[in-house]
Amino acid sequence: MNVIFVEPAFPYYQREFVRGLAAAGARVFGIGERPVEALDPELKGWLTGYDRVRSVVDEGALLAAVRAVQGRVWVDRLEATIEAHILPAARVREASGIPGTTVRTAWLCRDKPAMKQALREAGVPCAQSASADDPAGVRDFAERVGWPLILKPRSGAGASGTVRVDSPAELERAMTALGVGRGGSVAVEEFIEGHEGFIDTIAVGGRVAHEFISHYYPGVLVAMRERWISPQIVATNRIDAPGYAEVRAMTRRVIEVLGIGTSATHMEWFFGPKGLKFSEIGCRPPGVGQWDVYAAANEFDIYREWGMAIAHGRPDDAPSRRYAGGMIALRPDRDGRIAGYEGADRVFARFGEWIVAAHLPEPGTPTQPVEAGYMANAWLRLRHPDYDELRRILDAIGETLRVRAA
């Protein structure tokens, strides 16, 4: 099978999808923005061919590159795994006659108000939401629904640009920041109180072949705005517990309604006083290296499993569910440059057997702001057979390991 993969070199973890396809026996043709000379020998070894474009989200340039590959070989699949690439890839896929995720599906997974409207009509529980291009539309929604509300860019990924507002004054400030009335289009939503988590799948022909459930501690909006918090993302190894049945069933319904065929998916949800509520879905893998957490916790090559789904339409291995897996983000105490670490030796001496990966930037490294995300500064990944014990270990690490900046 011949597979075109969009942007194999950046971000760095994109190479793992190329490796997974090659390990599954596919011939991989990369289209990316870097010159071929910038690709390292290992990545080049997994690629059968490579074409460079100015921008992979320039649909005309991407289509021309895809047709160039089609002029040399038969192309079976065209794949992308970055949120911003999904819709351009779908449009090029349809224009070039390559099977895969359709433009309709990609658009519904990208446009949050349209996504929720389609799912509400199909009986999937969602927060009240609407799209708005002007301040009057946002204010009308606020009058109908009440406070608090969530505003986010209409096609944003994850929590990027998301703002909670609790009053008319905060709403006005948020609209100004998001450019509402000056060309900015937003999704405005009812705020849902409750615990926040996500479920990730690899679907094959619309059926779930692999699935993993993770929890945020605390929720993303709080985690991305408070420097003192060392936020955690923890994947359970108790996925067959009865309490997860409802979210697993909802996932399958969402995949059906949105017409997702063979693809990775990432679906966020809330559970609280109003019950289980769908939040949003991406027709792509999760971010923050979460697939690497799943791979370590389940002792299998999830990237090759994705490659098997794309190239052969079937899974080839099963997750062990032996471990729960988690990551903890460690924020510098201020912006500046990393000065050093306190408590790192104690953490590694006490919990080293459960640590599977660590990133502690060298002293002198510039810090990144809190809102840059979970992996912007220091982080650790761990696994443990007992989910509750893993949570206790992650809490202890957050209380012990300090990142100092100057």
CA 55 to CA 6: how far, in whole Å? Answer: 10
Beta strands in 331-392 (DSSP E): 338-342, 355-359, 378-384
Query: In the predicted model, what is the mean pLDDT of residues 160-189?
Result: 87
- List Cα–Cα distances, 263 to 101, 188, 207, 246, 255, in angstroms: 8, 28, 10, 22, 10
**How confident is the model at residue 329, as a pLDDT?**
97
Domain ranges of the chain: 2-108, 128-190, 195-405
Query: In the predicted model, what is the mean pLDDT of residues 312-331?
Result: 98
**How confident is the model at residue 398, as a pLDDT?**
97
300 versus 137: which is more confidently predicted? 300
String of DSSP letters for 217-234: ES-HHHHTT-TT---EEE
Percent of the chain at pLDDT > 70 equals: 99
pLDDT in tens, 355-405: 999 999 999 999 999 989 999 999 999 999 999 999 999 999 999 999 999
What average pLDDT does the structure give for the chain? 95
Q: What residues are paired with 47 via a beta bridge? A: 28
Residue 219: which pLDDT band, with cuts at 50, 70 and 90?
A: very high
CA 173 to CA 165: how far, in whole Å? Answer: 9
Fold of 195-405: D-amino Acid Aminotransferase; Chain A, domain 1 (3.30.470)
**How confident is the model at residue 161, as a pLDDT?**
76
Residue 159: which pLDDT band, with cuts at 50, 70 and 90?
A: low
Please say whether the beta carbons of 107 and 169 come within 8 A.
no
CATH architecture of 2-108: 3-Layer(aba) Sandwich (3.40)
- Extract the tokens encoding 233: 């993302």
pLDDT above 70: residue 156: no
Q: In what helix (H) or strand (E) does residue 399 lie, and over which residues does it extend? A: helix 387-400
First-residue to last-residue Cα distance in the chain = 52
With b for 16 or more beta-carbon neighbours within 10 A and e for fewer, the 48-74 pattern comes to ebbbebeebbebebbbebbeebbeeee
**How confident is the model at residue 378, as a pLDDT?**
97
User: Could you tell me whether strands 2-6 and 77-79 are parallel, antiparallel, or unpaired per DSSP bridges?
Assistant: parallel
**How confident is the model at residue 84, as a pLDDT?**
95
CA 405 to CA 402: how far, in whole Å? Answer: 10
Residue 310, Cβ density class (10 Å: 0-12 exposed, 13-18 middle, ≥19 buried): buried
Fold of 128-190: Dna Ligase; domain 1 (3.30.1490)
**How confident is the model at residue 157, as a pLDDT?**
58
Residue 265: helix, strand or coil by DSSP?
Answer: strand
Contacts of 138 (CB under 8 A, 6+ apart): 132, 151, 171, 175, 180, 186, 188
- Say which residue the tokens 């510039």 belong to: 366
